[in-house]
């Protein structure tokens, strides 16, 4: 008869012993958090777990360099962190966002998992304790803000920027393809003077490029790390030089320009850098909202709308109207924009809660910031691939609307004056005439004069 493996093992912490599921690597403090914070379904973002693994490895290497940690424990801690970074233990980080505002339980979750993995590597070796060794020279109060900055910066640099650059490149191609297309402009949703379709697209592209510049500027603050401040910013229990050494190790591990924040009291309590960076994300969301709305307006139809462009027909649009196709990619982008704008409110309010020496809204800051980056990056890539890549100008429709526009009269004002030009436009509108017919009927210009002056090519 086979012996059944026990379902639980006993783990202990300062409050006593706790039963932990035998198949998992976490310890007592993680288990207590699971039991005490069964709130919602939102788990700590995987980007935060990755950032914690990076900083725990960097801290072990720094502690070794400074003579605090022996080679064997350093090697095992680093190897355990590498396994976490390699996604071998994703199921070991189950904690919810809705926990202590300092993120202490998530810091301990990583400490406990790393210590457990170290024990597996060398069951007979010296103990690697989650607090004494994995958390050496650290506090949750400086590790979570550090993980938050690392995760935010890497999300921007590794995820958002490639998607942003991809959509800008597609818009640049569309500009080149449509440089010879002249269409009517619109202001206040009303007819305006002409412009090239490429000029309209260039406005979209440059808006996104300006957003990228603002996000790049925000990296200066995100690259500054709190690690080394420990509990309240004084660096208690961290050796001299630890902050600079650990920042250097993180720089080597990531290839990014991370540095040590010189004022740790600021780093622990203020989250202004996150507010600034998320403000740039909100600007990006606002511009994507405008671009997606422009695209779906210009593609409206196919028979009874503007119909100046066509976009890919990706899926049926109605369960009741056969043949209907909708601008679904535009709708996804605009919903993302709304979510990011809502997240910005949460980020700003959470950042305002830095009481005394610590901000205690960091998990919700992390959740909202990283969700915004993830949604924007994925949304831009989907919008580019499934909509913008297949966008085509309907040149015939653009010319038809251009020729019908009454606002071409604007180019006549230097010759016939504003009031007479306005009267001609109103006459054409009231009586259903073309602008040319109205000007000639009013005897404001001869045919030859009108044809010489009203040339859309000269107006753009």
pTM for the whole structure: 0.96
Bridge partners for 10 per DSSP: 19
Q: Tell me the C-alpha distance between 337 and 347, whole Å.
A: 15
**130: DSSP letter:** I
Active site residues: 188, 318
What's residue 5's pLDDT? 77
pLDDT of amino acid 196: 98
CA dist., res. 122 & res. 129, Å (int): 13
Q: Write out pLDDT tens, residues 116-129.
A: 999 999 999 999 99
The string of pLDDT tens digits covering residues 41-52 is 999 999 999 999
pLDDT at 135 over 60: yes
Exposure letters 166-185 (e unless 16+ CB within 10 A, then b): bbbebbeebbeebeebbbbb
Q: Enumerate residues 6+ apart whose C-beta is below 8 A from 177.
A: none
Mean pLDDT of the residues in the chain: 96
Q: Is the pLDDT of residue 3 over 80?
A: no
Confidence at residue 158, expressed as pLDDT on a 0 to 100 scale: 98
Cα distance between residue 216 and residue 280, in whole Å: 9
| Residue 147: per-residue pLDDT | 98
User: What is the arithmetic mean of pLDDT over 12-19?
Assistant: 94
pLDDT of residue 77: 98
Q: Which of 89, 94, 106, 90 is nearest to 40 (CA)?
A: 94
Mean pLDDT confidence for 378-385: 98
What does the block give as tokens for 302? 């196919």
- Estimate to the nearest angstrom the gap between the alpha carbon of 415 and the chain centroid: 51
Q: What value does the mean pLDDT take over residues 395-408?
A: 94
Q: Report CA-CA distances (Å) from 452 to 184, 191, 449.
A: 19, 22, 5
pLDDT, mean of residues 251-271: 98
Residue pLDDT, tens place only, 262-283: 999 999 999 999 999 999 999 9
| Residues near 317 by beta carbon (within 8 Å), at least 6 away in sequence | 324, 325, 326, 328
What pLDDT sits at residue 437? 93
- 210-237 per-position pLDDT tens digit: 999 999 999 999 999 999 999 999 999 9
pLDDT band, residue 163 (cuts 50/70/90) = very high
Distance of alpha carbon 110 from its chain centroid, rounded? 25
What is the CB neighbour count within 10 angstroms for residue 356? 9
Nearby residues of 315 by Cβ (< 8 Å), 6 or more positions away: 325, 328
**What pLDDT is attached to residue 4?**
73
Mean pLDDT of 93-98: 98
pLDDT tens sequence across 171-191: 999 999 999 999 999 999 999
Residue 2 has pLDDT above 80, yes or no: no
First to last CA, the chain: 88
When pLDDT is averaged across residues 21-45 and rounded to a whole number, the result is 97
Spatial separation of the C-alpha atoms in residues 200 and 155, rounded to whole Å: 30
| Residues making up the chain, counted from first to last | 460
Do residues 73 and 126 lie in contact, with contact meaning Cβ atoms separated by under 8 Å? Answer: yes
pLDDT band of 354, cuts 50, 70, 90: confident
**Residue 99 clears pLDDT 70, i.e. is over it:** yes
Strand partners, 418: none
pLDDT in tens, 48-89: 999 999 999 999 999 999 999 999 999 999 999 999 999 999
Whether residue 52 contacts residue 143, with contact meaning beta carbons closer than 8 Å, is answered with yes
Q: How many CB atoms lie within 10 A of CB 282?
A: 21
d(CA 225, CA 149) in angstroms, rounded, equals: 7
Question: Residue 402's beta-bridge partner residues?
Answer: none
Where do we find the tokens 């009108």? Answer: 450
* Residue 226 confidence (pLDDT): 98
Q: Distance (Å, rounded) from C-alpha 333 to C-alpha 338?
A: 9
């Amino acid at each position: 008869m086979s012996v059944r493996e026990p379902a639980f093992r006993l783990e202990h912490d300062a409050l006593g012993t706790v039963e932990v599921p035998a198949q998992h690597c976490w310890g007592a403090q993680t288990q207590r958090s699971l039991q005490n914070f069964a709130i919602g379904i939102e788990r700590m973002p995987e980007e935060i777990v990755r950032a914690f693994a990076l900083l725990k490895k960097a801290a072990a290497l720094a502690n070794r360099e400074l003579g605090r940690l022996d080679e064997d424990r350093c090697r095992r801690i680093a190897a355990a962190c590498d396994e976490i970074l390699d996604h071998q233990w994703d199921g070991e980080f189950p904690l919810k966002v809705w926990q202590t505002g300092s993120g202490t339980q998530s810091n301990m979750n990583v400490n406990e998992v790393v210590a457990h993995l170290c024990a597996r590597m060398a069951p007979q070796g010296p103990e690697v304790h989650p607090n004494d060794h994995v958390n050496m020279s650290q506090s949750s109060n400086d590790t979570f803000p550090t993980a938050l900055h690392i995760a935010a910066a890497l999300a921007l640099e590794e995820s958002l920027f490639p998607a942003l650059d991809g959509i800008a490149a597609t818009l640049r191609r569309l500009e080149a393809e449509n440089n010879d297309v002249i269409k009517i402009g619109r202001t206040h949703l009303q007819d305006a003077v002409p412009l090239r379709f490429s000029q309209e697209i260039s406005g979209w592209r440059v808006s996104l490029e300006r957003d990228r510049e603002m996000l790049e500027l925000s990296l200066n603050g995100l690259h500054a790390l709190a690690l080394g401040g420990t509990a309240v910013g004084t660096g208690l229990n961290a050796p001299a030089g630890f902050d600079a050494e650990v920042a250097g190790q993180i720089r080597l591990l990531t290839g990014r320009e991370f540095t040590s924040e010189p004022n740790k009291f600021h780093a622990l309590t203020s989250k202004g850098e996150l507010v600034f960076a998320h403000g740039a994300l909100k600007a990006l969301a606002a511009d994507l909202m405008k671009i997606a709305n422009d695209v779906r307006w210009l593609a409206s139809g196919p028979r009874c709308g503007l119909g100046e462009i066509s976009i890919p027909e990706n899926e049926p649009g109605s369960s009741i109207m056969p043949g209907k196709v909708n601008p679904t990619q535009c709708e996804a982008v605009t919903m993302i924009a709304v979510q990011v704008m809502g997240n910005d409110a949460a980020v700003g309010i959470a950042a305002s809660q830095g009481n005394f020496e610590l901000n205690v809204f960091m998990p919700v800051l992390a959740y909202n910031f990283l969700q915004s980056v993830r949604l924007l990056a994925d949304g831009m890539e989907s919008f580019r691939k499934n909509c913008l890549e297949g966008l085509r100008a309907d040149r015939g429709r653009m010319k038809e609307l251009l020729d019908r526009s009454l606002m071409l009269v604007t180019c006549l004002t230097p010759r016939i004056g504003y009031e007479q030009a306005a009267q001609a436009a109103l006459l054409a509108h009231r009586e259903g005439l073309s602008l040319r017919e109205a000007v000639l009927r009013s005897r404001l210009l001869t045919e030859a004069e009108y044809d010489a002056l009203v040339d859309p090519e000269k107006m753009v």
